[in-house]
Structure 1
Amino acid sequence: MSQTFVTIARFPYSTEAEIIKGRLESDGIQVFLKDNITIDTDPLVSQAIGGIKLKVLAKDEDKAREILASIQAYSVNDDGEPISCPNCGKHRIELYSTITNFKSLVSFIIGFISGTLPFSTRYQYKCEDCHTEFPIKT
């Protein structure tokens, strides 16, 4: 059982997977990346094959998951301090883009048809604990 690898995370590209691999290996956890060479060769197949699988030995799974949870990236302000949710006060805040008005919808459609990036994108924060959405303060 101790020589069996289990998947603890998946990544669309190898850059983040390599960083996490290095972090886990620095704590003495043996790590194996599956499908990283395939995706590095042709990044467009990442979605089709389920991304890069980060695998660790079954005996190290709990420790590896604990390390992964401790380095989860959440939003911070300009001073590097975690952003607090205005509703619950917790710090598990994610930044995401949204289409909320006619201008951003038209921008998305034009960008989709022409294959370019949208020129009008609106961003908001969302709390992972209470699911409150709130705007970025400017």
Structure 2
Amino acid sequence: MKNWQIICSFTYPHEAHQARIYLENSAIHCTLQDEMTVQVYGLYSNALGGVKLLVPEKDFEQARNLLVEGGYIQPNSAAEQALPVPQVVTTDNKHCPFCQSTNIAKRKDPNLLVVVLYFILGVFFPIFKSGYQCFDCEKQWKPISPKQAEKNRQGK
């Protein structure tokens, strides 16, 4: 398959066959690459780059124009339309309520009541209770729900 160029690739073999037949009706010889692999192992399509439609170098421009005309490919290729991907960085900083330090960690302590119920009932329950610990002031606290925080602000 010397002097052949990939004109486009398709995720599914039936899409590639439609484009191949469209080109062959216009007297442009073409062939498909990786068609059988994608038919047998459909999930390999992305790993292989899809089913590739190959045309001879001498017919490349004519085939490209026909595929654009037929709506199989966009007039501007993806390489010409390379756009930068915006990078958004979000952080959820949690602070110690006592000293406002960010040097905190989530902690898990065994819950004695759940351990006793586990042995009595023989049913598995989550054993650990979670909370937070500040490494700067050595204090520990439990997270509260938004409803509880609103009640605390109102003084009830």
Larger radius of gyration: 2
Where relative contact order (Cα < 8 A, 6+ residues apart) is larger, the structure is 1
TM score, norm. by length of structure 1: 0.50
TM score, norm. by length of structure 2: 0.44
